[in-house]
Amino acid sequence: MKRKFLAALLPCLIPVQALAADERPTVNFTGPLLTPNAKNLPSGVVVIEPYLIYSSGNTFYDGHGRRQKASASTHQWQNLVPMFVGITDRLQAQLTVGALRVASEGRRSGGSRMTDTTARLQYMLMAPNADGTRPAISVNYGHRFATGAYHRLDANPLNGVGSGAEVDSLSVLTQHFIWLANGRPLRWRAVAAYSPSPSRVNLRGVSTYGTPADFRGHVRLGRSLGMYASAEYSIDQHWVLALDLAYDREESAWLSGQQHLPSGTIETIERRDPARSVYSVAPAVEYNFDGRFGIVAGVHYSLAGRHNGAFFKPMVAVNMVF
């Protein structure tokens, strides 16, 4: 029975070019949860894709990759809104804003707090052909603005939802289609992203970096690297199965400063936070009403890591094309 099943399935998994581009069925994709699109929007087209993300965590990965129990559990609700506009057929702009609400051990942040904001410009070096079998290749420059609160959090540390860092990033993206023997497409994406170490961040008092009250100093974050790949299989004109694989790494951070104690003495604080890394996966299901509106829902969760929190994040996004 197993051999018969494999024999029936195998022809569907073999790429073919038998159908001409104008004979292939209509397909719609919303896009996977994590890996961005290398194919730019046409000039004048706008896409808005709001996300709702829930995150809970009470474990972390230690320096040996072992999963350990955290001292406190954390629950978060996040709204993330990426907005895209095609400036020309080759140049695309993006702005992403967000808000975060945090709860931990009976305490809560003061409502939804604005997180850091990211702006991006993307230029398409190679445009795909009509059926997508020639890859789209793009380069992307981004800058993250420190719009989220990150220090002077003495009243409520949970209000800290930002990094305080102005971060530049450069990404290379690609996407292409493989048409299978059953006439359905498999769409692949891959992205490599790099951020150099940003300028140091001045800190005062309680901060997102675990500094105490009456602290005066700074932190210097390390460079970071992200690698992402995704596959989407179009079942029919409406339904799509999607899967993202991700690797993120952030190099060591250095914190330095002084704490002014109530006794009048000054205590020097020097700390090196080790490099952090995490492997994660995000399976999802897409439903496309048509070529303009679609929904994608799934779960982003960690598989392994070092010096990083373990996470489980159900999320849903609505893709709207105008």
**End-to-end Cα distance, the chain:** 49
Tokens, residue 318: 């609505």
pLDDT at res. 105: 81
Binned at pLDDT 50, 70 and 90, residue 260 comes out as confident
pLDDT at res. 99: 96
User: H or E stretch including 319?
Assistant: strand 312-321
pLDDT at res. 40: 96
Residue 72 predicted with pLDDT over 60: yes
* pLDDT-above-70 percentage for the chain: 93
Instruction: Pick 130 or 21 by higher pLDDT.
Output: 130
DSSP for 112-141 reads: -EE--EEEEEEEEEE---TTS-SPEEEEEE
Q: Picking from 9-13, 86-90, 162-166, 286-290, which range would have the lowest pLDDT averaged per residue? A: 9-13
Calculate ∠ Cα 44-319-89, nearest 5°: 25
Work out the burial of residue 176: count CB atoms within 10 Å of its CB; fewer than 13 is exposed, 13-18 middle, 19 or more buried: buried
pLDDT at res. 70: 86
Strand boundaries in 49-164, DSSP class E: 51-61, 67-86, 91-104, 107-108, 113-114, 117-126, 136-145
Residue 45 predicted with pLDDT over 50: yes
Domains of the chain: 27-321 (2.40.160.40)
Binned at pLDDT 50, 70 and 90, residue 21 comes out as low
Binned at pLDDT 50, 70 and 90, residue 265 comes out as confident
Strand boundaries in 222-307, DSSP class E: 224-234, 239-250, 253-260, 266-273, 276-288, 293-306
pLDDT at res. 22: 53
Averaged pLDDT of the chain:
90
> Tens digits of per-residue pLDDT, 285-316?
999 998 899 999 999 999 999 999 999 999 99
What phi, psi does 197 have (nearest 5°)? Answer: -65, 125
Instruction: Pick 264 or 158 by higher pLDDT.
Output: 158
List, in sequence order, every residue forming a beta bridge with 126; answer none if it has no partner. 137
pLDDT at res. 26: 76
Tokens, residue 12: 């569907």
Mean pLDDT computed over 243-261: 95
Spatial neighbors of 236 by CB under 8 A, at least 6 apart, are 184
- Residue 100's nearest CA partner among 90, 111, 92 is 111
pLDDT at res. 111: 84
Mean pLDDT computed over 224-250: 97
The maximal CA–CA distance of the chain, rounded, in angstroms, is: 81
Question: What's the whole-model pTM score?
Answer: 0.88
Question: In angstroms, rounded to a whole number, what is the distance separating the alpha carbons of residues 227 and 246?
Answer: 6
- Do residues 23 and 289 lie in contact, with contact meaning Cβ atoms separated by under 8 Å? no
Mean pLDDT computed over 258-276: 89
H-type alpha helices, the chain: 2-9
Binned at pLDDT 50, 70 and 90, residue 263 comes out as confident
pLDDT at res. 23: 62
177 C-beta neighbours (distance < 10 Å), count: 23
> Tens digits of per-residue pLDDT, 167-212?
999 999 999 999 999 889 999 999 999 999 999 999 999 999 999 9
Question: In angstroms, rounded to a whole number, what is the distance separating the alpha carbons of residues 233 and 188?
Answer: 9
